[in-house]
Structure 1
Amino acid sequence: MVAFQPFWQRKTLEQLSPEEWESLCDGCGKCCLHKIEDEDTEELLFTAIACRELDLDCARCRSYGRRFKAVPECLNVRELASDNYHWLPRTCAYRLLAEGQSLPDWHPLISGDPQTVVDAEVSVIRWAVSEARVRDDEWFDYVLDGAEL
């Protein structure tokens, strides 16, 4: 008898249905954090500053169905070329699978519980700040250590 393999182990990211694609998102909210590029080193820096549409109580987009209209600079992960997945957090399922890695134990598709993302301290819920609360000249104050993502 052949052992059952979940869809994310049988298919490439390009082969996923829209429903499968959406279910891979762990809901951490990290892709909604602003990134800045260091002009001197061209290094991509993640910040603790969240998009204004991210509800920081639940790490969900308030405008998900119309996010690209509400926030034109919103990152469309599905359209992102795999060689640009470095724009995604190290814990992101899309990045992990593209790099040939497994989903972590806290991922809702493994644990069966979305709360495990928060319990594992992967979610932005406890530490992100809305861009509405940060002045433009303060953004570098919110740069995260790469180990945090």
Structure 2
Amino acid sequence: VRTLAVPCRFLDIHTRNCRIYHQRLQAEEDCIKLTPEILPTLAWLPEDCAYRKLLDDDDQRK
């Protein structure tokens, strides 16, 4: 498996938001639905990702 630094075709690179957010899981089979359960397994999320920050904050409270 090789990881490439290629953004999703639906990513708006200026806003960093998905252009088709509500249809993303149907339109892109590789799209991952982020849930609290899988966040700890996603080491590739950037440190400034809001989901990563929420997870880190939650870990610090424990």
Q: Normalising by the residue count of structure 2, what TM-score does the alignment of the two structures yield?
A: 0.63
Tell me if 1:88 matches 2:45. Answer: yes
In structure 1, the gaps of 5 or more residues are 1-34, 37-45, 102-149
SS at match of 1:77: coil
Percent identity reads 32
In structure 2, the gaps of 5 or more residues are none
Matched residue, 1:110: none
Superposition deviation, residue 71 in structure 1: 0.6
Runs ≥4 residues deviating over 3 A: none
What root-mean-square deviation, in Å, do the aligned CA atoms of Structure 1 and Structure 2 show?
2.6
Q: Which is richer in strand? A: 1
Q: Which is richer in helix? A: 1
* CA shift in 2, pair 1:60/1:100, >3 Å: closer
Relative contact order (alpha carbons < 8 A, sep ≥ 6): 1 or 2 greater? Answer: 1
* CA shift in 2, pair 1:87/1:95, >3 Å: same
Q: Normalising by the residue count of structure 1, what TM-score does the alignment of the two structures yield?
A: 0.32
